[in-house]
């Protein structure tokens, strides 16, 4: 089996590459090789048990998308994206990468399959940003998509493309709406949701963190470990169970910022919580105000997807796998 990970330079893509490289298998199939792609060539994970090639490719350019499709990977993980805050600040870049890049890639796969039969499993990382207020709490699986950010619109349109290209038999697509990933390791990124990780990650390291919203803000969270498990399960899932509704909302933890801070106190003491600086940011507040708070992801749960159930577990995963000095 040949695995292609697009967006392998990101945190989730890198972790997925490392996990599959170590295991050497995906479900019941042995991985014979992996191709890792991003705008700049991603790092090859250490200790991989299969051949790994890393290359630079911008999927919004048709030639690059066609070159990737010509590799005829059995499973394609499409993780490449301009994150939420950056997509809102840079309208043209967000649409070029998040929408035009996805369409370019799907079209390249369709054209490749027209020359000789080729229908890869295509796992697409979508986002809960496809929902926008007003909405119920929790949000059911059949609730209308009405995003309130450019990023959410780009993901919602891509979900429709995924469904249509699957319906036409060009790909065997599965979309997963990822919760906000907490706790993200490493340096902060440009996502508007970055503070959900920052108010835990930095204090756990004895560093100050900025909280730009009220503690009453509630959101849907899952760990990097769960994100990797979601992707792998989506790649091995029997898609006959999906029917025409190809995208699923993933399980997660519904928690307020106050819940996060309380879990931080339990894990690292009150002095850790004292490192959080409350500094209001109206732009971030405006973006987050339109985000969903919790879900009832019955379809995903019935199909075997699972995640953490408390913020305490999210912190435990980070300390075990991603904190400086963790065993991984």
Question: 71 near 3, Cβ under 8 Å?
Answer: no
Of 95, 118, 131, 151, which one is the catalytic site residue? 151
Dihedral (Cα; 296, 233, 324, 257), 10-degree rounding: -10
What would you report as the CA-atom Rg of the chain, rounded to the nearest whole angstrom? 19
Burial (0-12, 13-18, 19+ Cβ within 10 Å), 61: middle
Q: Which of 190, 187, 213, 226 is nearest to 276 (CA)?
A: 213
- Strands 25-26 and 29-30 come out as antiparallel
Active-site residue flag, 151: yes
**How many whole angstroms separate alpha carbon 127 and alpha carbon 177?**
4
**How far is residue 270's CA from residue 65's CA, in Å, rounded to a whole number?**
50
**Which residues make Cβ contacts (< 8 Å) with residue 240, sequence separation at least 6?**
none
- Give catalytic residues, as residue numbers: 151
């Amino acid at each position: 089996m040949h695995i292609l990970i697009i967006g392998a330079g990101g945190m989730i893509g890198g972790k997925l590459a490392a996990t599959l490289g170590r295991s050497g298998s995906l479900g019941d199939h042995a991985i014979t090789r992996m191709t890792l792609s991003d705008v700049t060539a991603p790092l090859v994970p250490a200790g991989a048990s299969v051949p790994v090639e890393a290359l630079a490719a911008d999927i919004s350019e048709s030639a690059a998308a066609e070159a990737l499709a010509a590799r005829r990977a059995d499973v394609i993980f499409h993780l490449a994206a301009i994150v939420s805050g950056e997509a809102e600040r840079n309208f043209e870049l967000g649409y070029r990468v998040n929408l035009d890049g996805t369409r370019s890639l799907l079209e390249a796969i369709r054209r490749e399959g027209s020359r000789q039969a080729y229908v890869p499993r295509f796992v697409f990382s979508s986002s809960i940003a496809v929902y926008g207020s007003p909405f119920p709490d929790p949000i059911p699986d059949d609730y209308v998509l009405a995003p309130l950010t450019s990023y959410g619109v780009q993901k919602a349109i891509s979900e429709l493309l995924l469904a249509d290209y699957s319906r036409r038999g060009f790909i065997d697509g599965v979309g997963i709406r990822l919760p906000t990933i907490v706790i993200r390791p490493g340096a902060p990124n440009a996502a508007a949701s970055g503070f959900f990780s920052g108010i835990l990650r930095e204090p756990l390291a004895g560093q100050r963190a900025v909280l730009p919203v009220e503690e009453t803000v509630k959101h849907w969270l899952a760990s990097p470990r769960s994100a990797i498990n979601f992707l792998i399960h989506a790649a091995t899932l029997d898609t006959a169970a999906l029917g025409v509704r190809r995208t699923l909302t993933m399980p997660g933890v519904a928690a307020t910022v106050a819940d996060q801070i309380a879990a931080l106190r339990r894990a690292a003491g009150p002095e850790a919580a004292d490192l959080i600086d409350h500094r209001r940011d109206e732009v971030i507040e405006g973006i987050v105000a339109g985000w969903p708070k919790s879900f009832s992801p019955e379809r995903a749960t019935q199909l075997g997807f699972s995640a953490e159930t408390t913020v305490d577990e999210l912190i435990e995963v980070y300390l075990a796998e991603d904190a400086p000095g963790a065993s991984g």
